[in-house]
């Protein structure tokens, strides 16, 4: 469970709707300070207005916050809250009480401050000291305090007051004079999404390098396929969620079977092999979870077609086995220097099948601001077994001439661009969430989404110029039309249509009396319905039989 409190000096909020989509179980609160009116638990703090308590964000809250936008919103805020004295210490204290009133398990707490004043107390040393003390108390309890400063004439100087309030940033330059509003505002949605996804390991296990040499490592998923949320089943009378339960009954007696009464079986050589549940578990288990080093191979031995499932990332777990990070770093550095990968046997979890994997070293990368872009570690590539390989028999096609190859090389060089997977969003998922948002907020039309994976045809044509036509002239015949439909080919060996089978009326009536209409095929039943003028709206066999019985049985 995550907790996010936003305390605001002026009305700036762009988090609620994304919270609903990304992590609807997180709790969000909205607190204004420096207001004339006071509204907080037990009204213990003056000039602090708790607009929303810590709770799951919903459509009603989004609409309430949206009402504070624009001139009408400013007028509503002035009437509701007004403007008064400022005491950031009281606001922080109020936020601490909001946290403590929640009796759920805390996993992450964040407090974001929006303000355009770098000296909120205008030199009042007593209030400054109280705010610093309360901020220190919050940080000691695990609360991360972020500052998102807005535009201020002459610049926003973080070092005057907020340097001691906020949690230490990655870039020390953020603590000085800021002439522009924080770029966190533009990247807020992306940044919050990233921080809401904690680093959870798929598994923690030991990498065995030899007898008595174990390195504790964690397996992480760096990319997981995003899917649309599944639909929830509701009871149509009350819209309450319903839950399905599966129960097993005896086919002959109809009695309910307990799990202990159920066995599993597999047919082998026309014989049914029956096994108990514990025998099935014993068959599935090869060995305890772990990773075992087999050897090293040159990097050129690893082929692209060996990739059979998404790779995972391996990182040391120093807390499990002391010294793991040092040994892991040495192994990664040597593999990188010698351009080799480590071949290992992996059993990631109990009862999982063993897999061969290649550990490919990945060096750390940082940007110009010394911020880490790529972490150091090993990419775990899952290798196929001999059973997984397929032998292909591709059709024989004529080879391209050197002139055609050279012309295609020109086209490829013209269409090259820098690809970043995080620059493209799934248009289907994005449109799905926009539609849900429009329905929940009673919007007339959903917000438009840009399909970033559509080819930019005009830009492509401008880059290629006459190259595309020149390539077509080299490859295709003169009368080739790419938009024309190919001529329909006559299928060889096509079977002739079978003649219609008519059943005499006497034979049909006999089938009706004996109850054997089910022995006739669906085409014969359809033809019989046409033969005797029987009208039926269905095409299923039972519907045709019922129609014929109603017609001929009377």
528 and 433 within one domain: no
Is the backbone of residue 193 left (phi > 0), alpha (psi -120 to 50) or beta? alpha
> Is 365 part of any domain?
yes
| Of 124, 115, 322, 143, residue with least CA distance to 216 | 322
pLDDT at 194 over 60: no
Reported as a single tens digit per residue, the pLDDT across 32-69 is 988 888 888 878 888 889 888 888 877 788 888 878 87
Q: Is pLDDT larger for residue 185 or for residue 409? A: 409
SS (H, E, C) 469-495: HHHHHHHCCCCCCCCCCCCCCCCCCCC
Q: Which of 334, 358, 388 is the last residue of a domain?
A: 388
> Is 5 part of any domain?
no
Q: Which of 20-24, 31-35, 331-335 has the highest mean pLDDT?
A: 331-335
61 and 180 within one domain: yes
> Is 252 part of any domain?
no
Q: Is pLDDT larger for residue 3 or for residue 263? A: 263
Q: What are phi and psi of 214, to 5 degrees?
A: -120, 140
Residues contacting 293, CB < 8 A, separation 6+: 207, 208, 209, 210, 342, 343, 344
Joined together, the tokens standing for residue 232 give 């929830």
Q: pTM of the entire structure?
A: 0.60
Joined together, the tokens standing for residue 502 give 């008519």
Q: What are phi and psi of 197, to 5 degrees?
A: -105, 95
Give the dihedral sign, CA 76/79/83/84.
negative
| Of 352, 356, 353, residue with least CA distance to 342 | 356
pLDDT at 408: 94
State the residue for tokens 């400063």. Answer: 149
Joined together, the tokens standing for residue 359 give 């550990």
What is the number of other CB atoms lying within 10 angstroms of the CB of residue 163?
Answer: 16
Window from 123-127, 248-252, 498-502 with minimum mean pLDDT: 498-502
Q: Give the C-alpha separation, 427 to 449, whole Å.
A: 7
180 and 108 within one domain: yes
469 and 406 within one domain: yes
What is the number of other CB atoms lying within 10 angstroms of the CB of residue 355?
Answer: 18
DSSP line for 514-549:
HT-GGGS-HHHHHHHHHHTT---S--SHHHHHHHHH
190 and 168 within one domain: yes
pLDDT at 10: 36
Contact of 6 with 112, CB cutoff 8 Å: yes
Output the domain CATH number for residue 297. Answer: 2.40.290.10
Where are the alpha helices (H) located in 102-243, listed in sequence order? 125-140, 188-195
> Is 254 part of any domain?
no
Q: Give the C-alpha separation, 507 to 526, whole Å.
A: 15
Total residues found in the chain within this entry: 554
Q: Alpha-carbon dihedral of residues 33, 34, 40, 45, nearest 10 degrees?
A: 120
pLDDT at 460 over 70: yes
Surface-to-core class of residue 223, CB atoms within 10 Å of its CB (0-12 exposed, 13-18 middle, 19+ buried): exposed
Q: Is pLDDT larger for residue 402 or for residue 505? A: 402
> Is 44 part of any domain?
yes
* Residue 371 DSSP symbol: -
Cα→Cα distances 271→265, 274, 445, Å: 10, 10, 63
Q: Give the C-alpha separation, 27 to 52, whole Å.
A: 10
93 and 20 within one domain: yes
Reported as a single tens digit per residue, the pLDDT across 268-309 is 888 888 988 888 888 877 788 999 999 999 999 998 888 888
Joined together, the tokens standing for residue 466 give 């006459």
304 and 156 within one domain: no
pLDDT at 180 over 60: no
192 and 205 within one domain: no
Contact of 268 with 194, CB cutoff 8 Å: no
pLDDT at 1: 34
Max CA separation in the chain (angstroms): 109
Contact of 5 with 95, CB cutoff 8 Å: yes
> Is 484 part of any domain?
no
pLDDT at 101 over 60: yes
> Is 240 part of any domain?
no
SS (H, E, C) 357-368: EEEEEECCEECC
**Distance from the Cα of residue 356 to its chain's centroid:** 27
pLDDT at 414: 92
Joined together, the tokens standing for residue 222 give 């760096």
> Is 493 part of any domain?
no
444 and 465 within one domain: yes
pLDDT at 22: 64
Output the domain CATH number for residue 441. Answer: 1.10.1600.10
pLDDT at 409: 94
pLDDT at 15: 61
Output the domain CATH number for residue 54. Answer: 3.40.50.410
Give the dihedral sign, CA 475/476/482/488.
negative
Averaged confidence pLDDT in the chain = 81
Q: Give the C-alpha separation, 472 to 470, whole Å.
A: 5
Q: Give the C-alpha separation, 117 to 157, whole Å.
A: 9
303 and 164 within one domain: no
Q: Which of 388, 421, 456 is the last residue of a domain?
A: 388
Please state the domain count of the chain.
Answer: 4
466 and 420 within one domain: yes
Joined together, the tokens standing for residue 82 give 């007004």
Give the dihedral sign, CA 480/485/488/489.
positive
Output the domain CATH number for residue 544. Answer: 1.10.720.30
Beta bridge partners of 28: 4, 55
pLDDT at 160 over 70: yes
Reported as a single tens digit per residue, the pLDDT across 386-403 is 888 888 888 888 888 999
Provide the 3-class DSSP secondary structure of residue 50. strand
Contact of 30 with 66, CB cutoff 8 Å: no
Range of the domain at 451: 402-474
pLDDT band, very low/low/confident/very high, at 441 (cuts 50, 70, 90):
confident
pLDDT at 394: 80
Q: Is pLDDT larger for residue 208 or for residue 276? A: 208
* Residue 498 DSSP symbol: P
450 and 311 within one domain: no
pLDDT at 11: 37
pLDDT at 527: 80
Surface-to-core class of residue 324, CB atoms within 10 Å of its CB (0-12 exposed, 13-18 middle, 19+ buried): buried
Q: Which of 474, 491, 513 is the last residue of a domain?
A: 474
Surface-to-core class of residue 120, CB atoms within 10 Å of its CB (0-12 exposed, 13-18 middle, 19+ buried): buried
Joined together, the tokens standing for residue 75 give 């007028």
Residues contacting 30, CB < 8 A, separation 6+: 5, 6, 8, 13, 50, 51, 52, 65
Q: Please compute the mean of the pLDDT values over residues 80-108 and round it to a whole number.
A: 84
| Of 344, 360, 353, 347, residue with least CA distance to 303 | 360
pLDDT band, very low/low/confident/very high, at 108 (cuts 50, 70, 90):
confident
SS (H, E, C) 226-237: CCCCCCCCECCC
Q: Cα angle vertex 117, ends 162, 44, to 5°?
A: 75
């Amino acid at each position: 469970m995550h907790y996010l409190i936003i305390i605001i000096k002026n009305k700036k909020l762009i988090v609620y709707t994304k919270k609903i989509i990304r992590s609807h179980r997180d709790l969000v609160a909205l607190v204004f300070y420096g207001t004339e009116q006071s509204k907080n638990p037990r009204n213990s703090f003056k000039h602090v207005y708790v607009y929303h308590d810590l709770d799951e964000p919903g459509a009603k809250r989004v609409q309430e916050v949206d009402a504070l936008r624009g001139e009408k919103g400013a007028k509503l805020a002035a009437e509701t809250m007004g403007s008064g004295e400022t005491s950031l210490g009281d606001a922080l204290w109020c936020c601490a009480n909001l946290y403590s009133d929640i009796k759920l398990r805390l996993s992450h707490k964040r407090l974001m401050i929006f303000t355009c004043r770098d000296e909120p107390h205008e030199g009042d040393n007593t209030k400054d000291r109280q705010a610093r003390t309360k901020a220190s108390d919050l940080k000691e309890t695990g609360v991360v305090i972020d500052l998102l400063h807005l535009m201020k004439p002459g610049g926003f100087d973080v070092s005057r007051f907020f340097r001691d309030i906020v949690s230490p940033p990655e870039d020390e330059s953020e603590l000085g004079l800021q002439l522009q509003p924080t770029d966190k505002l533009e990247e807020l949605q992306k940044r919050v999404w990233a921080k809401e996804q904690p680093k959870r390991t798929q598994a923690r296990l030991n990498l065995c390098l030899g007898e008595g040499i174990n390195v504790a490592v964690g397996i992480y998923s760096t990319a997981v396929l995003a899917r649309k949320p599944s639909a929830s089943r509701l009871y149509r009378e009350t819209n309450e969620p319903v839950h399905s339960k599966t129960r097993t009954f005896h086919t002959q007696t109809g009695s309910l079977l307990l799990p202990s009464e159920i066995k599993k079986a597999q047919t082998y050589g026309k014989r049914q092999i029956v096994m108990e549940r514990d025998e099935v578990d014993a068959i599935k288990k090869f060995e305890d979870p772990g990773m075992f080093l087999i050897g090293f191979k040159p990097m050129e031995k690893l082929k692209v077609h060996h990739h059979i499932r998404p790779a995972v990332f391996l990182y040391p777990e120093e807390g499990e086995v002391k010294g793991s990070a040092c040994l892991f770093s040495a192994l990664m550095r040597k593999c990188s220097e010698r351009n080799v990968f480590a071949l290992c046997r992996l059993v990631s979890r109990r009862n999982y099948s063993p897999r061969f994997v290649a550990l490919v070293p990945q060096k750390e990368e940082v940007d110009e601001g010394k911020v880490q872009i790529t972490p150091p570690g090993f990419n775990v590539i899952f290798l196929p077994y001999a059973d997984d390989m397929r032998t292909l028999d591709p059709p024989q096609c004529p080879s391209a001439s050197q002139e055609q190859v050279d012309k295609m090389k020109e086209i490829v060089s013209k269409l090259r661009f820098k690809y970043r997977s995080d620059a493209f969003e799934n248009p289907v998922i994005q449109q799905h969430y926009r539609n849900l948002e429009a329905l929940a907020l009673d919007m007339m039309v959903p917000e438009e989404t840009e399909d970033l994976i559509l080819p930019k045809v005009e830009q492509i044509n401008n880059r290629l110029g006459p190259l595309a036509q020149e390539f077509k002239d080299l490859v295709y015949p003169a009368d080739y039309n790419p938009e024309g439909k190919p001529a329909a080919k006559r299928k060889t060996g096509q079977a002739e249509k079978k003649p219609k089978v008519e059943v005499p009326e006497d034979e049909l009536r006999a089938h009706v009396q004996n109850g054997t209409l089910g022995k006739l095929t669906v085409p014969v039943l359809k033809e019989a319905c046409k033969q005797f003028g029987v009208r039926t709206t269905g095409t299923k066999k039972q519907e045709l039989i019922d129609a014929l019985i109603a017609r001929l049985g009377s």
